[in-house]
Amino acid sequence: MRKFVLAAAALGLAMTASIAGPVEDREALMKSFGASLGQLAPMAKGEKPFDAAAVAAALETLNANAAKFDVAALFPAGSGAGTEALPAIWENMADFQARVDKMKADVSALAANPPADQAKLGAALGTIGGNCASCHETYRAKKG
């Protein structure tokens, strides 16, 4: 009986996820990016001891999530209203896609060859964070 209840609960969650829609999905994806950076940044700043295994794991997760950045599925035409996604996305789709591809390539290279010390982690975070910041600068509305 308990097994059945758990399976039903899992199904319920899966259904919620699939009907959530592109806006919720992309915001969840972005939050996952933020969470990965939140794991890495304290080590880059020296607030936490450098932990090579934790760095590799966080980059692995970030890479797996970056691979889910599917522009067509997450940013379908007409999905900008009431969100922080600016109309410029749909006016410059090729550029938006190119930025997604660059982030994926940067993250994938770093996950394949994780930074081995604090200084290299700092440089890696600069690269990753640059992708986030430059896209947000152009395509995400500033909070008023």
Binding site for ligand HEC (CB under 6 A): 23, 26-27, 30-31, 33-34, 37, 83-85, 96, 99-100, 103, 128, 131-132, 135-136, 139-140
- Nearest distance from C-beta of residue 127 to ligand HEC, angstroms: 10
121 contacts 39 by C-beta, under 8 angstroms? no
The residue to which tokens 């599917």 are assigned: 70
Q: How far apart are CA 39 and CA 23, in angstroms?
A: 25
Shortest CB 77 distance to ligand HEC, Å:
14
Q: Which is nearer to ligand HEC, 10 or 70 (CB)?
A: 70
Nearer to ligand HEC, 9 or 98 (CB): 98
Contact 12, 72 (CB under 8 A): no
Q: Cβ closer to ligand HEC: 118 or 138? A: 138
Kindly state the smallest distance separating residue 128's Cβ from ligand HEC, in Å. 5
**What sign does the dihedral 12-34-109-53 (CA atoms) show?**
negative
- Could you give the CA distance from residue 61 to residue 73 in angstroms, rounded to a whole number? 20
CA atoms within 13 A on the CB side of 78: 1
Report, in Å, the least distance between residue 51 CB and ligand HEC: 20
Looking at the Cβ atoms of 6 and 16, the one nearer to ligand HEC is: 16
